[in-house]
């Protein structure tokens, strides 16, 4: 009997990725404030994971076995694995925070003070702060078995209070809930401190200090932080009919009252209190997740820095892209050749300018773009509103199923519509994840088109922290096919011909990728050189993984940079021994997708919005754009070479999810820094 091919479950692999984030917090070579930031990112990532992925597994269980007949895993088993991994990681999280980060802060005379450590002056300050700022937001609720079932807001912080009556003859245990209003108040409050010292108290501990005054008839035994995470999935991805827009609006209203997916609690909480909370909130053991003293640690992003720059990373300010500098005629520069930018090493200003120039240029007649995640204060959105005022025809496709950005995207869509932009919203059953824009100009009766293909969103905020490629082109082959995409989005009529140059999700993108891999397999079997270099966020589609296994067996050399989920197992003898896969977690979030194929010496290089996941390859509109210019190919290959040489921030993917660092005796290569200086060395920074 043939041995089944190995795969790592996507959620277990994702937890391994999030542990790589925690490794950055653990690494003493990382500056202290950056370590705190990584604690915050780890916590935020995990919260979203429970709200979406864990909720999904629990809902499969609630739905019953009939629903599970086509599911390739047993949800109960996966939940047990998730719980085991997360609990172990949370113990390490607490150890890093309390035994490493807080002592290191003390060395810098930054003290996180608990309510039991306040001096007299600080106690007075805390009392006044509570009276002046917190009284309207404190909502104490005394629990009474299953008679009173308070509703805990999704993701909000609470203190569970364990009390006894001050009356001697009353031996009952009493429990209460008090909200910590971190949604309306600063989480970190700077206290009066000694000279050259900085004392900070968390809002949680400030509330702990005043709890006795809230329950004057009781003796406070102790208080413990708790947080309830609720199901955040909208369950609309597979709905193919009806008014999708109204469904999303309705779903958003229900998001914060969804079923509980976990109760996070202080691991020092006594069992009798845990049992009481389980009864009140109707939770199972699987819903319980012990953590440390503090929750919602994403708030550590706002930790006061006291202007201590030596505790932060070296700054890598974005470089102006001189190929489209202000002194040049913008459209003449675009027409001269293709332009490739790599963010955040390059400033995003050149992309913003693409829309700003179009808004005011009298020759521009049309602007079209796809928005997946929109910045809160978007210069691009402001530019296209201005374009409408200047008489341009503007069409914006707004994807309102972009998870956790639905509300913001809806808001922008309504604002754009109010200003006259032709807004097209999501398709039922299909996400539009492509990052594409076009501008049409008419000069002396002649049409000129310009396109931008990106691996990341038109978002000025994420462009400062996500690594992404952006390609400006006037290549007629690519322009024609970009028009086909927009025509489909506007008319919902499928193109009457195949995409020859672009790979487009839902239009045989997967077939194009499979053909490229199969050609490498064929060439390897003929004794020709055959290789692939693949960079993506996630690899989960088993059909693609099987094809990579086949390529490895045929002798194709495969080097991969997979930041997050990697369900493929590299290095297995007689199966994947020719596949080497690393993940890089560092200062910036690796987000670009790059696919390089040897192609018998005539290399094919693609930039893409699509990961190799079932959802991207089957249920989304994605774009994969070829790079034709030889110099730009050289740039992409050079960046990939640097990343594959990383021996500082690279970790190996393997079957154990051990996240072992890639190390060797070569000179240290921290790829994000080396890429920054590589770009800086380019002639006039033109790439």
Q: Find the farthest-apart pair of alpha carbons in the chain and give their distance in angstroms, rounded.
A: 96
Indicate whether 671 and 621 sit together in one domain: yes
What's the domain range around 347? Answer: 323-491
What is the per-residue pLDDT across 542-582, written as a single tens digit (0 to 9) for each? 999 999 999 999 999 999 999 999 999 999 999 999 999 99
What's the whole-model pTM score? 0.91
Residue where a domain stops, chosen among 466, 491, 516: 491
With 90 as the cut, is the pLDDT of residue 74 above it? no
What is the per-residue pLDDT across 581-624, written as a single tens digit (0 to 9) for each? 999 999 999 999 999 999 999 999 999 999 999 999 998 999 99
With 70 as the cut, is the pLDDT of residue 145 above it? no
Checking DSSP bridges between strand 157-165 and strand 173-180, what pairing results, if any? antiparallel
Indicate whether 622 and 650 sit together in one domain: yes
Indicate whether 512 and 448 sit together in one domain: no
Residue closest to 373 by CA, chosen among 456, 464, 436: 456
With 50 as the cut, is the pLDDT of residue 239 above it? no
**What is the rounded distance in angstroms from the CA atom of residue 176 to the CA atom of residue 161?**
5
* 281 or 504, which is more confident: 504
Out of 332-346, 366-380, 383-397, 666-680, pick the least confident.
Answer: 366-380
CATH number at residue 221: 3.30.1840.10
Q: What percent of the chain has pLDDT over 70?
A: 91
- Torsion 60-64-69-74 (CA) sign: positive
- Torsion 572-576-580-581 (CA) sign: negative
With 70 as the cut, is the pLDDT of residue 257 above it? no
Q: What does the pLDDT read at residue 241?
A: 44
What is the per-residue pLDDT across 149-177, written as a single tens digit (0 to 9) for each? 778 888 889 999 999 998 878 788 899 99
Told to judge if 433 belongs to the known catalytic residues of this protein, a careful annotator would answer yes
Indicate whether 287 and 336 sit together in one domain: no
DSSP 8-class letter at 392: -
Number of domains in the chain: 3
With 70 as the cut, is the pLDDT of residue 129 above it? yes
Q: Is 316 inside a domain boundary?
A: no
With 60 as the cut, is the pLDDT of residue 255 above it? no
> What is the average pLDDT value for the chain, to the nearest integer?
90
Of 433, 580, 591, 653, which one is the catalytic site residue? 433
Q: What is the dihedral of CA 609, 610, 615, 619, to 10 degrees?
A: 60
Out of 14-18, 127-131, 240-244, 681-685, pick the least confident.
Answer: 240-244
Q: Which residues of 427-463 are buried (b: 16+ CB within 10 A; e: fewer)?
A: bbebbbbbbbbbbbbeeeeeebbbbbbbbbbbbbebb
Q: Is 619 inside a domain boundary?
A: yes
Q: What does the pLDDT read at residue 68?
A: 46
Report CA-CA distances (Å) from 291 to 263, 285, 333, 353. Answer: 10, 15, 55, 46
Indicate whether 453 and 485 sit together in one domain: yes
Residue where a domain stops, chosen among 463, 491, 519: 491
Tokens of 607: 């930039």
Residue where a domain stops, chosen among 258, 283, 311: 311
- The answer to whether 559 and 1 have CB atoms below 8 angstroms apart is no
- The answer to whether 673 and 316 have CB atoms below 8 angstroms apart is yes
């Amino acid at each position: 009997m043939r041995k089944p091919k190995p795969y790592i479950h996507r959620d277990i692999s994702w937890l391994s990725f999030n542990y790589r984030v925690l490794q950055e917090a653990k690494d003493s070579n990382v500056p202290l404030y950056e370590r705190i930031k990584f604690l915050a990112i780890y916590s935020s990532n995990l919260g979203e994971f429970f709200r979406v992925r864990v909720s999904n597994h629990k809902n499969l269980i609630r739905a019953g076995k009939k629903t599970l007949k086509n599911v390739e895993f047993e949800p109960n088993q996966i939940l047990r694995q998730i719980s085991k991994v997360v609990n172990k990681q949370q113990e390490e999280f607490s150890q890093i925070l309390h035994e490493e980060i807080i002592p290191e802060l003390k060395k810098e005379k930054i003290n996180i003070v608990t309510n039991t450590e306040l001096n007299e002056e600080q106690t007075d300050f805390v009392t006044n702060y509570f009276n002046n700022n917190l009284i309207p937001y404190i909502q104490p609720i005394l629990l009474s078995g299953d008679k009173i079932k308070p509703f805990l807001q999704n993701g909000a912080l609470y203190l569970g209070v364990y009390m006894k009556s001050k009356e001697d003859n009353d031996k009952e245990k009493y429990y209460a809930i008090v909200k910590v209003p971190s949604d309306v108040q600063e989480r970190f409050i700077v206290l009066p401190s000694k000279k050259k010292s900085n004392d900070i108290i968390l809002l949680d501990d400030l509330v702990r200090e005043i709890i006795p005054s809230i329950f004057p008839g009781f003796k406070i035994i102790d208080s413990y932080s708790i947080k309830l995470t609720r199901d955040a999935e909208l369950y609309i991805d597979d709905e193919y009919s009806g008014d999708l827009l109204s469904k999303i609006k309705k779903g958003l209203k229900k998001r914060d009252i969804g079923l509980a997916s976990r109760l996070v609690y202080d691991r020092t909480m006594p069992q009798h209190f845990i049992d009481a909370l389980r009864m009140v909130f109707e939770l199972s053991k699987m819903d319980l997740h012990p953590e440390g003293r503090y929750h919602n640690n994403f708030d550590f992003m706002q930790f006061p820095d006291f202007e201590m720059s030596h505790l932060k990373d070296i700054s890598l300010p974005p470089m102006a892209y001189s190929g489209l500098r202000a002194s040049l005629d913008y459209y003449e520069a675009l027409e001269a050749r293709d332009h490739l930018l790599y963010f955040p090493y390059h400033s995003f200003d050149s992309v913003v300018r693409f829309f700003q120039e179009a808004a005011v240029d009298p020759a521009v007649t049309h602007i079209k773009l796809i928005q997946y995640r929109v910045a809160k204060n978007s210069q691009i959105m402001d530019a296209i509103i201005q374009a409408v005022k200047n008489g341009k025809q503007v069409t914006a496709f707004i994807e309102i199923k972009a998870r956790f950005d639905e509300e913001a995207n809806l808001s922008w869509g309504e604002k754009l519509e109010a200003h006259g932009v032709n807004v097209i919203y999501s398709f039922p059953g299909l996400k539009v994840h492509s990052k594409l824009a076009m501008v049409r100009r008419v000069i002396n009766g002649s049409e000129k088109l310009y396109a931008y293909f990106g691996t990341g969103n038109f978002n000025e905020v994420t462009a400062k922290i996500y690594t992404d490629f952006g390609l400006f082109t006037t290549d007629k082959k690519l322009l024609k096919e970009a028009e086909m995409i927009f025509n489909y989005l506007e008319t919902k009529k499928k193109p009457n011909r195949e995409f020859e140059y672009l790979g487009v999700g839902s239009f045989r993108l997967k077939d194009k990728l499979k053909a490229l891999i199969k050609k490498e397999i064929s060439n390897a079997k003929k004794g020709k050189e055959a290789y692939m270099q693949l960079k993506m966020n996630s690899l989960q589609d088993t059909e693609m993984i099987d094809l990579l296994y086949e390529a490895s067996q045929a002798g194709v050399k495969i080097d991969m940079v997979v930041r997050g989920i990697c369900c493929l197992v590299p290095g297995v003898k007689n199966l994947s021994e020719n596949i080497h896969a690393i993940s890089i977690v560092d200062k910036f979030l690796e987000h670009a997708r790059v696919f390089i194929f040897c192609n018998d010496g005539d290399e094919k290089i693609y930039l893409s919005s699509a990961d190799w996941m079932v959802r991207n390859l089957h249920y989304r509109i994605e774009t994969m754009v070829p790079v034709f210019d030889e110099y730009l190919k050289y740039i992409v290959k050079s960046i990939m070479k640097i990343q594959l040489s990383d021996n500082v921030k690279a970790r190996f993917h393997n079957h154990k999810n051990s996240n072992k660092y890639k190390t060797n005796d070569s000179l240290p290569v921290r790829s994000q820094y080396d890429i920054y200086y590589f770009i800086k060395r380019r002639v006039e920074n033109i790439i």
